[in-house]
Structures are given as structure tokens and as C-alpha cells.
Amino acid sequence: MDQDQRADIHWTEDGVPVSARFGDPYFSLGNGLEETRHVFLAGNGLPARFRPGFHIAELGFGTGLNLLAARIAWRAAGVAGRLRFTSFEAFPMAADQMARALAAFPEAAAVAGPLLGAWDRGDRVIRTDDLEAEIVIGDARETLPRWSGRADAWFLDGFAPAKNPELWAPDLLAEVAAHTAPGGTAATYSAAGAVRRALAEAGFAVDRRPGFGRKRHMTVAIRAP
Ligand SMILES: C[S@@+](CC[C@H](N)C(=O)[O-])C[C@H]1O[C@@H](n2cnc3c(N)ncnc32)[C@H](O)[C@@H]1O
């Protein structure tokens, strides 16, 4: 892969990866795993909505923390079969960078082995006994319109809209809606007015929830059944 397309990372003293390209951390400086559970799992009504064949899609794969949090929740819920998870990522991290980031979350790191091993071998489709994941490499503005899937739940996890506006553009959020199953949902940590308006214009019913940590609000969205 072209060197320009790799993640360019520096690290805070607390071990949080920060994108040099976007000037933003990959997850909360507080507790990234708890943030994922609050924003993306609870925000999408998970684990309660899990059922066989459930499909999560994500904008921004990053460290894989959200995938691992979803997989932990899936296992705990005891649903039969594999959780499907598709994530769109333009600037993939190296496996050793992901491992370093995940080391801060022992619960996630404990189940990361198969993912990191496969990722290091160059696999972008990863199957385990409880997971069927695909990481689609490339700019989501190009790759998502070509995707044939429809997700039951979306994790909208670009960097902050002010720093990574292309991942929150109305056109792309319209593609998210077009790739959402009837009754499907989306959640994001962002409460930015432009994001909320774009989701509403795309056809979602948009609602505000209490955010994680110091963030006052976050956004949840549902497509009509
Ligand atoms: C906040 S991080 C995602 C964190 C991740 N979900 C996790 O669990 O670690 C945002 C991600 O979006 C990716 N990204 C930024 N612009 C993109 C684009 N146009 N298309 C696809 N991915 C993009 C970045 O490279 C980065 O990995």
C-alpha cells in the first residue's frame, strides 16, 4: 500500500493514539471502551437488538476497538452464529499500532489476538466462530456507494466533524441511510447540528441522548421500519 495511505500516529503520555493527519485522538482520552459501549452499543439499542445475522457497519475502523467491544457484547448475549461487521477505513493502522492502542483495555486486548494476527497477515475479511468481519479499505466516499450490504446498526465514528468533514458530508450520510435496513439505526458521539441535519435529510428520525463523559450530548438516528 502507498505509504501516504497509512495511518500517521503519535501517542499521548497515556497511550492514546492521535492521528497526525487529522489532529484528533482515535478514542476518548478518558475511557475509550466505556465510550464505545455508551455511544455505539447503547446508542444503537445493543445488545438488546442482537439476533442471528445481525449486521453492524462502521465509518472509521481505526484501532478495531469498536469491533472488539461489539464482539464482547455479542458473545455475552449468547446469540447463535456470527456477528457481521463491516467497517470502512481509508488510512489503516499497522497491527502493532493497533495492539499498542488496545493494550489500554485488557478486556478488549484479551480477545484481540485472532483479529490482530489476521490483520498482520493482510487479511481484510476475518472469520472466527462468532464473527464475520470485513474491513473495506479506501475512502468511504468511494467505497460505501459501491457496497451491496445493508446494516442493522451503524457506528458513525469519523474524527471530529470539524477535523474530518468528509466523513460527515450530507452525501455520505445519505449513502449510510441507503445502506441501512428498515428499522435500522445509527449512532455517533457527535451532536453537531450539521450532522444531525444531514441525518434527518437522509431520512432518519434523529434524537439526542446524553453524551459520554464530558460530552453533553450525542446523536442517535432510526430509519423507518
Ligand atoms: C475516530 S477514528 C475511528 C476509531 C475506531 N472506530 C476505533 O474503534 O478505534 C476515525 C477513523 O476514520 C478514518 N477515516 C477518516 N477519513 C476517512 C475516509 N474519508 N474514509 C474512510 N475512513 C476515514 C480514520 O483513518 C480513522 O481510522
Residue-wise pLDDT for 153-212, tens only, equals 999 999 999 999 999 999 999 999 999 999 999 999 999 999 999 999 999 999 999 999
Assess whether pLDDT exceeds 70 at residue 4.
no
Ligand 1 contact via 167 beta carbon (within 6 Å): yes
Whether 63 is in the pocket of ligand 1, judged by its Cβ within 6 Å, is yes
- pLDDT tier, 135 (very low <50, low <70, confident <90, very high otherwise): very high
For residue 63, how far is its CA from the centre of ligand 1 (angstroms)? Answer: 9
pLDDT for 30 equals 72
What residues does each domain of the chain span?
31-223
Q: Report how far residue 113's alpha carbon sits from residue 55's, in angstroms, rounded to the nearest whole number.
A: 22
Q: Is the pLDDT of residue 2 over 60?
A: no
Q: If you measure from the C-alpha of residue 93 to the centroid of ligand 1, how many angstroms do you get, rounded to a whole number? A: 10
CA 165 – ligand 1 centroid, Å: 12
Q: What angle do CA 112, 116, 118 make, to 5 degrees?
A: 125
Question: What pTM was computed for the model?
Answer: 0.97
Q: What average pLDDT does range 99-109 have in this prediction?
A: 95
- Fold type of domain 31-223: Rossmann fold (3.40.50)
Provide the pLDDT confidence category of residue 3 given band limits of 50, 70 and 90: low
User: Mean pLDDT for the chain?
Assistant: 95
